[in-house]
A and B are shown apart, each in its own frame.
Chain A
């Protein structure tokens, strides 16, 4: 039994799962490895594969300093298989098998369901790398470029994590699924990624920050729910992934904060008080707050679709089977079986949005989405605090959950951002006041001029307060000169 807190860096694939002794899985992963590197080179960050980037790499999975910073060319990044340490005597925390010892092998009856969960989660990881692959060329600073690449390599590692589980526990089917994860392509007509939001383009840096704030937060919720799994290897994998996911959200939250900061500074300097003087504000080369709100509306609503149908048999089955819990299941006080409780679900009934109590087991997607909305709302407070102290009369808010939805209860109706139902005509007439228009997007794109001098930042975004790993302000995070 290998010591699961120590990472073996000797082989091709860094790991703390004893890959050296597990010849079958090691062979499968080593067979998969060249395909992954090919994928990374053709679909990973475009134009920057040969430059050393200041990246962190995990060196231990314990709570004490698991990250090490250093310069590495991305294709040489040490993607590894890292699981959080095993918890002695862990039991299944919820569902019909609650209290039984956590599974170390896949139970036969749940094999297909579990594989599907892994594939859907796994598919999102390379998808976001693909969505973001052109962003390097328009990075507003080397600092931001480095953050982008850090996010990218960690999404790549998350793919490794899922592929390890598929190859170790799911036999030939698992290997085929692992190969397919490299074959699908975000936004490709013939081989799209599985979930809609992961086939959308990420055309600019504002979209990137919004994506990492809103959509990676869905990833955090999903990982949080899978980290509770009765299938222990999945639980341990996701627990470790969560520590990385936190950085992605930091990139989004601090990125938007810096955009807001720059905008209000520029407004002040120009003597503009009214945030709706959009043309004057844009003339300053910064992003006006109403446009930021529209971008938030868009990314929030697209992300809500990732939670699936509010009332879901699949989610009920996954919970009852002990495969996927609720977000922070271990912090919830109830019977953890939910066979007789109810949960309120927002539904669309005869042209009205109403609350309806449904059996809680079937409302787990709704529950996770509710938890997400609370979490996202918390994230907004930093932006709004900044706006308040700056004296600009504007607050960023989340739109109503029924707004701009394509999946779930509200997919057939249009509403405004307050949740008032709109006719088709009213929607068409007003949607560009709530979602970015073509002109809005063109304006944002026009700002996306690369800045590559160390310590310099594009005019639409403020510098960060601290450098990565406490590096000084003019640190060269990506070495394009050497």
Chain B
């Protein structure tokens, strides 16, 4: 089983050090520390295990270290910043593992940019040594890239000439969209195995600055402090992300607030989320609750459950979301998140919820949300209704009716990758429907009202409910998993493209196609032959 839970005392590949507003996150990959057998993580190359630690570090820096305003990313190895994803690992991994590996590493890269953009915790990549492939892609997530000018160190995206694949963590898209590298220069850069160094790297905007070795350490410190000065981060006491209380059995994963029940025969998992029981009354109470504060605790548990299902339960094709609790309490939690949104911790919690809901959007599983009696899909939790491919609400049971509640957060706090709220995405091209929905904020909506306002797919009464739900799940389970993944990924994201949708949609789709092709993974393909010294034999047909 691949476990996404870790903490700094267990890191094998990263070191965290703190100096006032500056944190240093040092990559020093243990070659023998691969997640699986059969490869060595040489030259700071990484596999999923390395990235799980990185994701944990990024998360903890945000919650546990409000005093940190700049994170300096650097390498603990001489002459190498990071060599990217381990090629032998990719060569031996299943297609599914490669796809999920890339998806997770991409989400982690976006979480770094999210910290820079929204948390006032800016990242600085101090590249002393070569940053190749995923190594450069990691550097390029930072706000500012410094490259040592020792006439050796370079940045490169050698995937195409070296491996006949593409950079898999957003490198191509960030070149043009983030770094604004001219497309013909980007073309040269991506087909030159040895990459670019020195002044040309600056002229082409691949890095922001080159610095001679004699001035390196002083300049890194100076730039880190400059970035810190521009931060609006103002917290003092961090919130410790305590270990999750998790129990995994053959057919269930249980956390205090999130329960996953697996129906393997039906290839379906039911994820039930418990609403809050006792919420603090004010901001001080939120801070005192720390990791136990319901929105934070629920988000962390749901996030872990989603990752567990992705990597460890690949045949579970349908996720059914349910909830149980008092919707008024969820709305009260939303009120806290709304009222204190300028507090650093509340901001972090909102941003974490945003990222977890994005993780839901990125699940290559069919998402069905069932809104039954006793459920608490209200405000933030109602995002799971709008994230679903279909949502079904129970109509009937007059003294115990199912309800749905909207809060202001549904319209503002949790944009999807395309920059739209899930409701705006849902009502793309129907601005008046969106406006009407905004008028329903705070109302207790019954099934008929929710259906009439387009907030759920169907409302079924007790006569139809059991049968319709069963039919939807059985029909869904019968379709091609591949085709469903493609269909859902297309339909979930309406409207505009962003760098994020381009990376996930365009780049990974191409990458995943290339990863399936004989030119990469065939017996004479590049990944199979990599390191052997024998050239791959390419099928020369352009598709």
Contacts and interface: CB of A to CB of B under 8 A. Distances in A.
Task: Report, nearest first, the 4 A-B pairs whose CB atoms are least far apart.
Answer: A316-B533, A361-B533, A190-B212, A320-B533
B534 A320 contact: yes
Nearest to B192: A112
Interface of B is mostly: loop
B482 to A, nearest CB: 33
Nearest to B194: A112
Nearest to A350: B32
Contact of A116 (B194, B213, B214, B531): B194
B212 A339 contact: no
Nearest to A194: B152
B530 interface: yes
B524 to A, nearest CB: 12
Contact of A321 (B152, B194, B532, B535): B535
Scoring B151, B161, B192, B194 by chain A CB atoms within 10 A of each residue's CB, the highest score goes to B151
Given A183-B151, A189-B213, A191-B150, A313 B535 contact: no
B123 to A, nearest CB: 26
A192 B149 CA distance: 10
B389 interface: no
Contacts of B152: 192, 194
B194 A190 contact: no
A273 interface: no
Given A112-B193, A190-B213, A362 B531 contact: yes
Interface of B: 149-152, 161, 192-194, 212-214, 530-535
A191 B534 contact: no
Nearest to A359: B532
B530 A361 contact: no
B151 A361 contact: no
Contacts of A359: 532
Given A112-B193, A112-B194, A190 B532 contact: no
Interface string A295-315: 000000000000000000101
Given A112-B192, A116-B194, A189-B214, A339 B150 contact: no
Nearest to A338: B533
A357 B383 CA distance: 57
A320 B535 contact: yes
B216 to A, nearest CB: 9
Interface residues of A, number: 25
Contacts of B533: 313, 315-317, 319-320, 338, 361-362, 364
A313 B193 contact: no
B532 A316 contact: yes
A190 B534 contact: no
Nearest to A309: B42
A392 interface: no
A184 interface: yes
Contacts of B150: 190-192
Contacts of A338: 533
B151 A191 contact: yes
A43 to B, nearest CB: 16
A277 interface: no
A313 B194 contact: no
A345 to B, nearest CB: 13
A327 to B, nearest CB: 17
A96 interface: yes
Nearest to B530: A313
A309 B150 CA distance: 21
B243 to A, nearest CB: 31
B380 to A, nearest CB: 49
A161 B152 CA distance: 22
Contacts of A100: none
A9 B193 CA distance: 40
17 contacts: A112-B161, A112-B194, A183-B151, A189-B212, A189-B213, A189-B214, A190-B149, A190-B212, A190-B214, A191-B151, A192-B150, A192-B151, A339-B532, A339-B534, A361-B533, A362-B532, A364-B533
A146 B194 CA distance: 40
Scoring B194, B214, B533 by chain A CB atoms within 10 A of each residue's CB, the highest score goes to B533
B151 A313 contact: no
A338 B149 CA distance: 38
Nearest to B158: A112
B532 A180 contact: no
Contacts of B213: 189-190, 192
